[in-house]
Amino acid sequence: MLRAIPFGWLLAFVAVPCLLLLAIAFSSSAEGVPPFAWGTLSLDAWATLTEDSFYLSAFLRSLRVAFITAALCLALAFPMALALARAPARWQPALVLAVLLPFWTGFLLRMAAWVGLLRDQGWLNGVLLGLGLIQEPLPMLYSTPAMLLGMVHAYLPFAVLPLYATLLRLDRGLEEAAADLGASAFTVFRTITLPLAAPGAAAAFLLVFIPAAGEYVVPEMLGPPEAQLVGRALWGAFFQDRDWPLACLLAVLLLAVLVLPIRLFQRLENRP
């Protein structure tokens, strides 16, 4: 009984929905509500997808953007987590809170804040104009750098926290031993800290990469119109074109692409 309730829930709201994605990806679309026919078998969505190179490039673009986002997050998060883990113990809770609190202000509001910062009449342009460094506002919003800035801002805490947990567990005695034996600070970092933190770093990378690959809101709010990522393509197929089979097929393919990183992430999470 204790098991039946959660098991039933997981089957109904996790397993069945995923199977439905697969089923409807290969159903034919229909007029009406919902705009597909149950129990049909059709390759229409597949044909739409393969005829138009737009979708393939959306996938490649998404993977590239997710990779860059995750790499930037990792590059920034690693030294941050190191400083957090090495800070005096009584300061650590406050510092962790300082990393987490922006996360609590609401994702949309943080993106709105970036819009306010970067747009033509925005704060940054105001400052630059005021200083006389530029004569006309720089178009910064709706660009790839603005989108990446927003992505890193949105996902940075996801990378900092697992790295911080890994570095906190790291046995400092090993580093001290290496230093005592004459290793320079850089050698200690390269031969002890980095290898020991590598699984945590890989987990942090994947924790950003996986959701970033399907991101919809950030590219929509900060990115250029031509930055058509999978998330936007799926959203458009669903909300604008009302082509549910195509949206489902995109979701299935996104999952297929992400299976490898997901499995890798789960393996890293379950390591002893």
Partner 1 sequence: MSRVALVAGLAFLWLPILLLVGYAFSASPIPFQLGGFSLRWFAALAADERLLEAAWLSLRVATGAATLATVLGGLVGWVLARQGAFRGRALFGALAGVPLVLPEVVTGLSLLLAFVGLQTLLGWPTERGATTVLLAHATLGAAYAAVVVQSRLSQLDRGLEEAAADLGASPSQVFRTITLPLIAPALAAAWLLAFTLSLDDVVVASFVSGPAGTTLPMLLFSRLRLGLTPEINALGAAILALAGLALGLAAAMLHRSARHQGKAG
- Segment 173 to 212, residues that bind partner 1, using CB under 8 A: 210-211
Per CB under 8 A, the segment of 46-54, 175-183, 197-205, 257-265 that binds partner 1 is 257-265
What number of residues does the chain have? 272
Kindly list the distances between the CA atom of residue 162 and the CA atoms of 4, 58, 210, in Å, as whole numbers in the listed order.
33, 30, 15
Per CB under 8 A, the segment of 41-49, 51-59, 89-97, 168-176 that binds partner 1 is 89-97
Residue 160 makes contact with partner 1 by CB under 8 A: yes
Residue 78's identity, in one-letter code, is: F
Q: Could you identify the residue written with the tokens 């001290």?
A: 176
Are 206 and 265 in contact, with CB atoms under 8 Å apart? Answer: yes
Residue 251 makes contact with partner 1 by CB under 8 A: yes
Q: DSSP assignment, residue 26?
A: T
**Nearest approach, Cβ of residue 226 and partner 1 (Å):** 18
**Nearest approach, Cβ of residue 169 and partner 1 (Å):** 14
CB pairs under 8 A, 24+ apart, for 132-141?
141/115, 141/222
Residue 2 makes contact with partner 1 by CB under 8 A: yes
Identify how many contiguous H helices and E strands the chain contains and give both numbers: 14, 0
- Single out the residue of 28, 40, 43, 122 in contact with partner 1 (rule: CB under 8 A): 122
**Distance separating alpha carbons of residues 155 and 37, to the nearest angstrom:** 38
Residue 9 makes contact with partner 1 by CB under 8 A: yes
Residues 29-88 that bind partner 1 (CB under 8 A): 34, 38, 76-77, 79-80, 82-84, 86-87
SS3 36: strand
- Single out the residue of 214, 219, 223, 245 in contact with partner 1 (rule: CB under 8 A): 214
Q: DSSP assignment, residue 28?
A: P
**Distance separating alpha carbons of residues 154 and 151, to the nearest angstrom:** 5
Residue 260 makes contact with partner 1 by CB under 8 A: no
Residue 6 makes contact with partner 1 by CB under 8 A: yes
Looking at the Cβ atoms of 43 and 95, the one nearer to partner 1 is 95
Looking at the Cβ atoms of 126 and 145, the one nearer to partner 1 is 126
- Single out the residue of 119, 147, 205, 228 in contact with partner 1 (rule: CB under 8 A): 119
Are 215 and 234 in contact, with CB atoms under 8 Å apart? Answer: no
241-252 as b/e, with b when 16 or more CB fall inside 10 Å?
A: eebbbbbbbbbb
Looking at the Cβ atoms of 174 and 217, the one nearer to partner 1 is 217
Are 244 and 24 in contact, with CB atoms under 8 Å apart? Answer: yes
**Nearest approach, Cβ of residue 104 and partner 1 (Å):** 4
Looking at the Cβ atoms of 119 and 178, the one nearer to partner 1 is 119
Residue 215 makes contact with partner 1 by CB under 8 A: yes
Looking at the Cβ atoms of 19 and 47, the one nearer to partner 1 is 19
Residue 214's identity, in one-letter code, is: G
